[in-house]
Amino acid sequence: MDKRTLLTVLSGMLPMLSASFTALAADDPAATVIALERAALDRWGNGDPMGFVEIAAPTITYFDPMLERRVDGRAAFARYMDGIKGKVHLDRYELLNPTVELAGNLAVLSFNYVSHQGAASSRWNSTEVYHHDPEGWRLLHSHWSQTTPGR
């Protein structure tokens, strides 16, 4: 099969795959939360941190090791993220060992994150707390810490 035929076949399959994923996500809160996180991380790696703002709850709290204090509320979170726009560009990232614990309308996502830019990589631990409300899953609390493996 030549490349053009393969691309035609694959592009025809995308709507079916998308519909299948949407159905799966509706039935699987853990998959939905991980998909939201991945979508925000994809945008982050392309210099657009506002994906996180778009999924944030109005009362979000945010811990970042680059900041002296916690960020409280969506408006403050949006201001902080707006200051990062265009400053982060990654070749790729890895979201490792994602685990989602569900408790009623809360989901706690924890994972290891490795970002790659050229020969450099950076490792992080993350805990993201999501809350389900009438609009869907919203990021309620975000905590990132940089790690140094082997210590």
Q: What residues does each domain of the chain span? A: 28-146
Mapped onto helix, strand or coil, the DSSP state of residue 73 is coil
If 0-12 CB within 10 Å is exposed, 13-18 middle and 19+ buried, where does residue 48 land?
middle
Architecture of the 28-146 domain: Roll (3.10)
Extended beta strands in the chain, E state? 56-63, 71-72, 92-103, 106-117, 120-133, 136-146
Number of C-beta neighbours around residue 40 at 10 A: 22
State the Rg of the chain over Cα. Answer: 17
User: Could you read off the pLDDT tens digit of each residue along the chain, which spans 151 residues?
Assistant: 555 554 454 456 555 544 444 444 458 999 999 999 999 999 999 999 999 999 999 999 999 998 999 999 999 999 999 999 999 899 999 999 999 999 999 999 999 999 999 999 999 999 999 999 999 999 999 999 999 766 5
Q: What is the pTM of this model?
A: 0.79
